[in-house]
Chains A and B, each alone.
Chain A
């Protein structure tokens, strides 16, 4: 931290971190755009509800198509909350303070929507409750539902707790925020006055939640990987699928956080808080988790490739040199190897280059889920006979693609709302860390 930072006064920090909290034209246009797009996608979904899953490209061979790969992606992206807040936070990394709320927001948004993504893959969504009523405790699907709900609640609480002090500060300050928002702040800041007992409760709760978050996050993505790994299909039949998925999730999540950091820094003028140091460090985090992921990738492909069991051979052939080869190599090289190489250099961990790299990584991460979920289903162990050609090779339909885009729009809406109406960067913590005097709660 430079000397300059330290001179920031409490008033300045408060003003800097809250000036975006107002309804302006840009926000209205952006939300309008998101809403209209969402409505278009919901219309596509209404077609699916009316006519059935046949409107999607999924058939007897590929029964898990875009929806399921999208689901895996969403669960993956939500894991970042745990990496930033819990792992980096618990080992005492101080620089993450301004990033924690961004990471938690992303976690909450993606976890909340992941459940909906699954519903889009259901032919009879009104029977969702049957999962609980008739679910078998032996089924990873029941475990998955349980851990995702738990993780979502933990993330939501971790988003909320640090906000209590922030909301108390803001609603008592002269900062001009809409009056309806001020009353929400008042209500949810729980009369926080920075008393020692109050702080004790909040700090202890955060600590306990952070500790709980680690196993919960590991579980959600491990269990999601088991949805695949407990079958004996080539490409899924793997004992390292858990760590493979978890490390891949950190890659996608880190990239998402970097993109969000860049956006908030620019639009909400947070250059003094989200500095090059943060981009540099997040770049390092991204490089590290990508290396771990690369390591698992090598294991995932090299070991079956060496043994070349019959089904694995067909699967690997298609991935490495067949129909899916172009996508596969673009994802592996463009989305993993090249980003790692670039990220090793400090110059590429500056905000703009690291943003570009993160966008490439995030897109590749989505297609990676596609490659994990879909190709192996195109060559089942038992041939399915007498089916039309379009059953054999999967190609998503337009309606299906729109239903796949809808969750992204929802995530953007959630992130936009949270970031618009609350400080993106923890106000109280930042003020304390920067040594600002006269932090006022009344």
Chain B
């Protein structure tokens, strides 16, 4: 496809999707509307919800009942008012979870319990509200896997062990579990090696690269987690700190003098150049001004 055509299609696509998004109305599927909270709303929960609300919602929705929401299109509205309050808990929960431009999707930002707490908080502004009977979520039936992590000195390897909790509460090694190992870096985490599958003893071993920098004592923070993209299991990751990195004593990016550093850490040569230029130029200006002021006294007529 020619370049021009690509740009054109891209434009077209953005036009089409752009208009579609803004024309959408926000419908909540019926089964989601019917969802009710798994717990009873308590005053503690409302307090918890208030904190969550102030942190995540107030910037747009203002304080409930105060009608001081931000002027956005579409208007966010006051959530203590009729329009929001007449919706079911499930409806509000769905909206917080999925979001809709410009409201963010909070699915991965606010944990489920906190989302319910916000609703508990919002309902406290509605004297007519009666909470429907809580319905606990259906009991979890999938596998429940816990990871542990060790560094084996003789092998020079990271050994991750997976245990599975059976129905009778006994713990057995879990085979066939896919494990990912990552090491914490400046920004986010870096995967170490390939994904491994646990063997019959529930063990997966990882080689740790010899050249990865650690902190000044060589410590690195590792996390092992189960690869479970469809969330079919209940998994507990393992974390650990081991002195297996290359000890590195590098100052932080803003701890030395550099272009990109903070004001206090501007390069000396730059400070000198700037200050000297300003002093020289303004020194001359001040000198000239003072000599101009002398003109008056030099008049031949006094």
The interface of chain A, by Cβ under 8 A from chain B, is 51, 54, 134-138, 143, 146, 150, 153-154, 157, 161, 164, 190-193, 195, 197-198, 201-202, 204-205, 208-209, 212, 216, 313-314, 317, 321-322, 386-389, 392, 442
Using Cβ atoms and an 8 Å threshold, which residues of chain A touch B293? 190
Instruction: From B77-85, B145-153, B282-290, give the one contacting chain A.
Output: B282-290
Name the residue in B260, B282, B292 with the highest tally of chain A Cβ atoms < 10 Å from its Cβ.
B292
Whether a CB of chain A sits under 8 angstroms from the CB of B172 is no
Answer whether A197 and B281 are a contact pair too, CB < 8 Å, given A137-B271, A138-B259: no
Distance of A320 Cα from B69 Cα, bound (Å): 44
Closest to B270 in A: A137
B282 touches A150 (CB 8 A): yes
B285 touches A191 (CB 8 A): no
The complex places the Cα of A389 from the Cα of B259 at a distance, in Å, of 37
Residues of B within 8 A of A202 (CB): 292, 295
Which of B28-36, B178-186, B236-244, B261-269 is found at the contact surface with chain A?
Answer: B261-269
Residues of A within 8 A of B14 (CB): 389, 392
* Inter-subunit contact A209/B288 (CB<8 Å): yes
B55 on the interface (CB 8 Å rule)?
Answer: no
Given contacts A137-B274, A387-B101, contact A161 B292 (CB under 8 A): yes
Q: Are A138 and B266 in contact (CB under 8 A)?
A: yes
CB distance from A187 to the nearest CB of B (A): 10
Bound form: Cα–Cα A201–B3 in Å: 65
Could you jot down 26 A-B contacts, CB within 8 Å?
A51-B71, A137-B274, A138-B260, A138-B261, A138-B263, A143-B274, A146-B274, A146-B278, A153-B285, A154-B285, A157-B289, A161-B292, A164-B295, A190-B299, A192-B295, A204-B291, A205-B288, A208-B288, A317-B3, A321-B4, A322-B7, A387-B101, A388-B101, A389-B22, A392-B14, A392-B18
Complex-state Cα separation, A253 to B36, whole angstroms: 70
Is the Cβ of B298 less than 8 Å from the Cβ of A198? yes
Interface flags for B241-256 (1: CB within 8 Å of A; 0: not) read 0000000000000000
Q: Is B21 positioned at the interface, with any CB of A under 8 Å from its CB?
A: yes
Cβ–Cβ contact A389 & B19, under 8 A? yes
Inter-subunit contact B7/A201 (CB<8 Å): no
Contact present for A191 and B295 (CB under 8 Å): yes
Shortest beta-carbon distance from A102 to chain B in Å: 23
- Type the 1/0 row for B1-17, where 1 means its CB is closer than 8 Å to any CB of A: 00110010000001100
B6 vs chain A, min Cβ distance (A): 10
B295 lies within 8 A of A190 (CB): yes
Contact of A198 with B299 in the complex, beta carbons under 8 Å: yes
Contact assessment for B4 and A317 in the assembled complex, using a CB-CB cutoff below 8 Å: yes
> Of B7, B71, B260, B266, which is in contact with the most chain A CB atoms at under 10 Å from its CB?
B7
Q: Which residues of B contact A321 (CB under 8 A)?
A: 4
Q: How many residues of B contact A (CB 8 A)?
A: 40
Q: Are A442 and B284 in contact (CB under 8 A)?
A: no
> What DSSP secondary structure best describes chain A's contact surface?
helix
Determine if B300 is an interface residue (Cβ-Cβ < 8 Å): yes
Query: By DSSP majority rule, is chain B's interface helix, strand, loop, or mixed?
Result: helix
Of B267, B288, B291, B294, the most chain A CB neighbours within 10 A belong to B288
Q: Which residues of A contact B73 (CB under 8 A)?
A: 388
The chain B residue with its CB closest to the CB of A205 is B288
Most B CB within 10 A of own CB, among A134, A205, A392, A442? A205
Q: Shortest distance in angstroms between B111's beta carbon and chain A's nearest beta carbon?
A: 22
Top 4 nearest A-B pairs by Cβ distance?
A389-B18, A191-B299, A197-B298, A190-B295
| Interchain nearest-CB distance for B288 vs A (Å) | 5
User: Do residues B18 and A388 form an inter-chain contact, with CB atoms below 8 A?
Assistant: yes
Q: Which residues of A contact B285 (CB under 8 A)?
A: 150, 153-154, 157, 212
Residues in A neighbouring B300, C-beta threshold 8 A: 193, 195
A169 CB to nearest B CB, Å: 14
Residues of B within 8 A of A191 (CB): 295-296, 299, 301
Given contact pairs A193-B299, A193-B300, A392-B14, a sample of 6 additional A-B residue pairs in the complex whose CB atoms are under 8 Å apart? A138-B267, A157-B285, A191-B296, A195-B300, A198-B299, A212-B281
Q: CA–CA, A282 to B196, complex, Å?
A: 77
Q: Is the CB of A205 within 8 A of B292?
A: yes
Q: How far is the CA of A197 from the CA of B298 in the complex (A)?
A: 7
Most buried by A among B3, B267, B300: B300
CB neighbours of A314 from chain B (8 A): 7
Considering the chains assembled together, what is the distance between the CA atoms of A54 and B102 in angstroms? 15
Q: Interface code B178-216, partner A: CB below 8 Å = 1, 0 otherwise?
A: 000000000000000000000000000000000000000
Of the listed residues B15, B71, B270, B285, the one surrounded by the most CB atoms of chain A closer than 10 A to its CB is B285
B281 touches A386 (CB 8 A): no
A201: contacting residue among B270, B274, B282, B292, CB under 8 A: B292
Residues of A within 8 Å of B294, CB to CB, are 201
- In the complex, what residues of A have CB within 8 A of residue B4's CB? 317, 321
CA distance A136 to B7 in the complex (A): 39
Out of A136, A190, A313, which one reaches B262, CB within 8 Å? A136
Q: What residues of chain A lie closer than 8 Å to B291, measured between beta carbons? A: 201, 204-205
- In the complex formed, the residue of B with least CB distance to A308 is B3
**Closest chain A CB from B214 CB (angstroms):** 31
Contacts of B282 in A (CB 8 A): 150
A54-B284 contact, Cβ under 8 Å, with A138-B259, A143-B274, A197-B298: no
Cβ contacts under 8 Å, B296 to chain A: 190-191
Q: Are B281 and A216 in contact (CB under 8 A)?
A: yes
Of the listed residues B14, B270, B293, B298, the one surrounded by the most CB atoms of chain A closer than 10 A to its CB is: B298
State the Cβ distance, B108 to closest chain A Cβ, in Å: 15
Q: How far is the CA of A138 from the CA of B299 in the complex (A)?
A: 47
Would you call B284 and A208 a contact (CB within 8 A)? yes
Q: Which A residues are in CB contact (< 8 Å) with B281?
A: 150, 212, 216
Inter-chain CA distance A202–B299, complex, in Å, is: 13
The distance from the CB of B251 to the nearest CB of chain A, in whole angstroms, is 17
